[in-house]
Structure 1
Amino acid sequence: MNTNQIEGMIGMVTVLGILVLLALPSLIGVVRDRRVDRQLREAQEERAGEEGQKSSSRSTVPSTATWYAEGRRSKKLVSS
């Protein structure tokens, strides 16, 4: 290997190291959020089982899509 190839490899390793350092916190956050979601879902199912109620797959709280659509409808009515 000559000097130019070594410098190129050092630069590439440096860039990849910086990329890993920048991406690592977000990847750790995603993994942590998934773990917390799983724990919450398991606790909710356990609580529903203890109360003798059937666990429903449908939520009683409107979804984000419903909330967004209602907001868009109200804006259209106001601007008309």
Structure 2
Amino acid sequence: MNTFLSLLAALALAALVLAPSLYGVARERAIDRQLCEAAAGRSEVPAVRSPPQKSPPQKSSSRSTVPSTATW
């Protein structure tokens, strides 16, 4: 029974150490697959959101002014 628990603990530790790298590899492969599909022209990548609307430029008269205290 002691040997079984030791083996189980070693497997659990190995899973904890390897899980982040395996997740990264799977993510990289998914990105590579998307890039290959886009290069081939048959992109099945979800639609990209449009950039946010720009607000009109702020007028200088509406900005608060702070006197400078720098003495250079």
Q: Normalised by the size of structure 2, how large is the TM-score?
A: 0.53
Structure 1 stretches of 5 or more lacking a match?
A: 1-5, 48-80
Moved over 6 A (4+): none
Counterpart CA distance in 1 for 2:9 and 2:15 is 10
Structure whose CA Rg is larger: 2
CA-based RMSD: 1.4
Q: 1:32: which partner in 2? A: 27
Tell me which protein shows more helix as a share of its residues. Answer: 1
Counterpart CA distance in 1 for 2:4 and 2:16 is 18
Using CA pairs under 8 Å that are at least 6 residues apart, name the structure with larger relative contact order, 1 or 2.
Answer: 2
Structure 2 stretches of 5 or more lacking a match?
A: 43-72
Shift of 1:45: 1.5
Q: 1:11 aligns with which of 2, 6, 27?
A: 6
In the alignment of these two chains, the number of paired residues is 42
Q: Normalised by the size of structure 1, how large is the TM-score?
A: 0.48
- Aligned-residue identity in percent: 38
